[in-house]
Amino acid sequence: MPSSLSPHNMSKAHEEVAEADLMPVEEFEYFSERQRLTEPSALRSTEDAEDFASSHNLTNQIDVLKKASLMLYSSTEDEISGLSDVELAAFSREKTHKWHQPRLLYFTIFVCALGAIEQGWAQTGMNGANLYLPGALKIDVSSTHGAFIIGLINCGLFLGQASFGAWLSEPLNNHLGRRGTIFVASFFCLFGNLGSSLSTYWPLLILCRLVLGTGLGLNSSTVNVYAAESAPAYIRGGLAVSWQLFTAFGILLGFFANVAFYNFGPKIIWRMQLATPALPALPLMLLIYVCPESASWYIKRGRYDLAYVSLQRLRNTELQGALELYSIFISRCTGTKASNDGEISYASKFKSLFTVPRNRHAMLASYTVMFSQQICGINIIAFFSSTIFSSSGFSTFAALWASVLFGAVNFLGAFPAIWSMDTIGRRRLLLWTLPPMAFTMFLISLTFNLPSGPLRFVALASLIYLFCLLYSPGMGPVPCPYSAEIYGLSVREVGMSFAISTASMWATILSLTFPELLATLGERGSFGLYAGLNILAWALCWAFVREVKGLRLNEIDLIFEETPFSFMRQKLKDVIGKWRRLETKKKGCEQIEQDDTNS
C-alpha cells in the first residue's frame, strides 16, 4: 500500500469525516422494478478498472484493482494470471479458515459489543430496581395509576428509542459517520444512566429514561449496521451475533449487579442498579475512533479512496479489500440510479421504504423479525423476571439469583449462533426455534396451577430457562443483524431506524400492558397468550423472511426484488413438492415390501 494511503498517515478521524463531507454524492441506490441488478458486461475489462482508479484517487492501486475486476467474472482464482501465492492462499482460507481475520476486525466487533452491553445492562438494572422503586418513590402499585407509572418507567427506555433515538440515527450518521454517531449515543447513555440514579421523583426518572432510550436507539441503529458493513460476507452473520451475545452478557452483568447490591439498603440499592449500566459507555467513547470508519459510509459519499483504506485495515490481503470495493462499485453502477442533485432528502428516503418495491420487501421482512422478537415474550421475562419469580413464592434474594441464572442461560445459549447463522441460515433458525418456544411458553402458563412450594419453584424456573435457551440461538440474534444487512446502502440508516423503532414501539406497548395483563388474566392467562403469539410469529417469519446467508451486502438486492406473494407461492410449492416426494418414497417402500412378501 502506498504511503499516501497508509492508515498511519491518515488524518485524524474527525478530519476524515469532514473531508468526506466535502465530496458530492455521486450515486445512490434507488431501486425500481425497471432498474434491476443485472450482471454487467460493459465493465468487465481492465480498462474499466483503470477508469475507476483514476476517477477516485486510486491510481497507485491500478494493478490490484485490475486483478479484482478479473476475479469478479472468473469462476475460480486459478483462471487469473498474476495472483501471488499469498493471495491464492488467502482466498482458499476463506473456505478452510474463515475465522482467520485481522485483529483489527475483531477489535472493531468488540468495541461494537460494548454498545450491546449497555443495552442489556440498562434493561436488567431496571429489572432489579422494580423491587424497590415503588417504595422509594412512593408509588402505589396496587392502584391502576401506580401500575401505569411503573410500566411507564420501565418502557421509558423503549419509548425513547422508538420516538427519538432510532429516528435521529439517519441524520447523525449522515453528518458524523458511524463512529461519530456511536460516540454521541454513548454520551446520551452515560447522561441517562447517571441521571436516572440521581432522580428524586418519578417524572424526572421518566425523563432520564427517555434520554437513555435515545442513546440506546442511536447505538442499536448504528452499531448493527457498522458491524455488518465491517465484516466479510462469509462470516457476517456469525460476527453480527455479537450484538445479541453481548446484550445477553450485559443482561447477565446487570443481574449480578442486582445481587451484589442486595445488602445496600432500599434507599440506595435502586440508585446503584440504575447507575452501573453507564460503565460500558466510557470505554466505548474512548475506543470507537481507534476503529476504521465504515467503508460503505465512505462509498455512499463517493470517497472510494478512503473506503479502500478502511477495507485494507479490515481484510487479510489488499486484493480481498480491492475485490470487495470494486464489487460494490460495479453493483452501484449497474443497479442504481445516479443523482446529480445532491443527497436524497430524509423524507424521500423514508418514502422510498414504501414506494420502491425492493425497499418495501426488505422493510416487510425487517418489520416481521422485529415484531416477532417482541411478541415472543422474552423482553417481558427479562424486565419482570425478578417480579415473576418473587410473586411465585421466591424470596427477594432467591428471585434475584434465579434471574442471574436466566441471564447466564441467555448469554451461553447465544454462542451456537456464531456458527449457525452462516451455516443453517437466518430463516431456518427462526422457523426451527419458534414452535418449541411456543410449547414451552404454554407449559410455563400451566406451572401457575401448581401450589406454591419447591415443585412450582423448580418447574417455573426450569421452563423459563428452557424458553431462554430456545430463544438465544434463533429469535435472539437474528432480528438486529438481519435488519442491518438487508437494506440497500442509500436507505440502510433509515431502514434500520424503522426496524429499531418498530421493536422499541412494541416493547413499549408490551411493557405498559404487561402489569395490567397480569392483573386481568393472571400469570396463567398471560403466558398462555404469549404462547399463541409465538405461533403467530412463526407464521409471519415463514411468509416474509428471506434467506441472505453468505451474500455480500450488494448481492442481497436481488433477493428482495421478488414480490412477497411470489416468494410465498414458491415456498408453498416447495412444501408441497417435498410432501409429494415423501409420499412417493413411502409408496415405493411399501411396494418393495409387498413384492418381497409375494416372492
Neighbours of 47 (CB within 10 A): 11
Name the average pLDDT for the chain.
81
Tell me if residue 561 falls in helix, strand or coil.
Answer: coil
Show the CA angle centred on residue 72, arms to residues 70 and 73, nearest 5°: 75
- At residue 313, the pLDDT reads 92
> CA–CA separation, 577 vs 581, rounded Å?
6
User: Is pLDDT above 90 for 507?
Assistant: no
pLDDT surpassing 50 at residue 2: no
pLDDT 10s digits, 525-560? 888 999 999 999 999 999 999 999 888 777 788 889
In a domain, 357, yes or no: yes
C-alpha cell belonging to residue 115: 454498545
Q: What is the pLDDT of residue 319?
A: 85
Residues 6+ apart with CB under 8 A from 126: 153, 154, 157, 273, 274, 383
Rounded mean pLDDT, 26-42: 36
Query: Residues 3-19: what's their mean pLDDT?
Result: 43
Whether residue 23 is contained in a domain is answered as: no
Given this model, what pLDDT does residue 81 score? 62
> By percentage, how much of the chain surpasses pLDDT 70?
85
Between 232 and 26, the higher pLDDT residue: 232
Say yes or no to pLDDT of 210 above 50: yes
- Work out the pLDDT band at 475, boundaries 50, 70, 90: very high
The count of domains in the chain is 1
- Identify the residue with better confidence: 365 or 149: 365
pLDDT at residue 138 tops 70: yes
- Within a domain: 586: no
| Count, residues in the chain | 599
Range name among 2-11, 299-308, 447-456, 589-598 with the lowest pLDDT average: 2-11
Query: Do the domain assignments include residue 33?
Result: no
422 in Cβ contact with 234 (< 8 Å): yes
- Classify residue 77: in a domain, yes or no: no
- Reported as a single tens digit per residue, the pLDDT across 185-205 is 999 999 999 999 998 888 999
Which of the four pLDDT bands, split at 50, 70 and 90, describes residue 384?
Answer: low
Q: Is 337 helix (H, G, I), strand (E, B) or coil?
A: strand
Among 30-39, 119-128, 373-382, 524-533, the range with the most confident prediction by mean pLDDT is 524-533
Give pLDDT tens digits for 76-91.
555 566 677 777 777 7
Whether 13 is covered by a domain: the verdict is no
Residues in CB range of 177: below 8 A, 6 or more apart? 16, 17, 20, 293, 294, 297
Q: What percent of the chain has pLDDT over 90?
A: 31
Residue 484 has pLDDT above 60, yes or no: yes
pLDDT at 9 over 60: no
**Minimum mean pLDDT range among 242-251, 262-271, 480-489, 581-590:** 581-590
| Distance, first Cα to last Cα, the chain | 76
CB 465 within 8 A of CB 405: yes
* Predicted confidence (pLDDT) at residue 13 exceeds the cutoff of 80: no
Residue with cell 425497499: 359
> Is 521 inside a domain boundary?
yes
CATH for 540: 1.20.1250.20
Mean pLDDT confidence for 102-116: 93
- State residue 77's pLDDT score: 56
The lowest-confidence range among 290-299, 317-326, 362-371 is: 317-326
Please compute the mean of the pLDDT values over residues 495-505 and round it to a whole number: 89
The band of 103, judged by pLDDT with boundaries at 50, 70 and 90, is very high
Burial class (CB in 10 A: 0-12, 13-18, 19+), 589: exposed
Amino acid, res. 344: I
**Torsion sign over Cα 386, 391, 395, 398:** negative
Residue 17 has pLDDT above 50, yes or no: no
Q: Which of 40-49, 378-387, 556-565 has the lowest mean pLDDT?
A: 40-49
Q: What grid cell was written down for 77?
A: 482464482
Residue 208 has pLDDT above 80, yes or no: yes
What is the pTM (predicted TM-score) of this model?
0.78
Give me the DSSP letters along 532-584. Answer: HHHHHHHHHHHHH----TT--GGGGGGGGTS-HHHHHHHHHHHHHHHHHHHHH
Q: If you average pLDDT over residues 571-589, what whole number do you get?
A: 82
- Kindly list the distances between the CA atom of residue 63 and the CA atoms of 52, 60, 303, 393, 596, in Å, as whole numbers in the listed order: 12, 8, 19, 71, 68
Q: What is the pLDDT of residue 418?
A: 86
Quick one: cell of 390?
418473587
List the grid coordinates of 143.
392502584
Comparison of pLDDT for 541 and 340, the residue scoring more: 541
Distance separating alpha carbons of residues 472 and 376, to the nearest angstrom: 12
Distance CA 5, CA 304 (A): 12
Q: Which domain holds residue 431?
A: 103-301+326-336+349-558
Output the pLDDT for position 74: 64
Instruction: Report how far residue 5's alpha carbon sits from residue 308's, in angstroms, rounded to the nearest whole number.
Output: 9
Q: What is the DSSP string of 144-189?
A: HHHHHHHHHHHHHHHHHIIIIIHHHHHHHHHHHHHHHHHHHHHHHH
Q: At what angle do helices 202-230 and 166-197 cross, to 10 degrees?
A: 130
Q: Could you give phi then psi for residue 418, rounded to 5 degrees?
A: -60, -35
For the cut 90, the answer to whether the pLDDT of residue 235 exceeds it is: no
Which of these, 162, 232, 203, lies nearest to 485 by C-alpha position? 232
What is the predicted pLDDT for the residue at 327? 84
pLDDT of 447 strictly over 70: yes
Range with the largest mean pLDDT of 332-346, 383-397, 584-598: 584-598
Is pLDDT above 50 for 21?
no
14 falls within a domain: no
Distance CA 557, CA 359 (A): 9
Residues 164-186: what's their mean pLDDT?
92
The more confident residue out of 560 and 17 is 560
Q: Choose the most confident range, by mean pLDDT, from 32-36, 219-223, 578-582.
A: 219-223
Q: How would you class 75 by CB atoms within 10 Å of its CB: exposed for 0-12, middle for 13-18, buried for 19 or more? A: exposed
36 pLDDT band, cuts 50/70/90, is very low
Whether residue 166 contacts residue 504, with contact meaning beta carbons closer than 8 Å, is answered with yes
CB atoms within 10 A of CB 59: 13
As a whole number, mean pLDDT of residues 580-588 equals 77
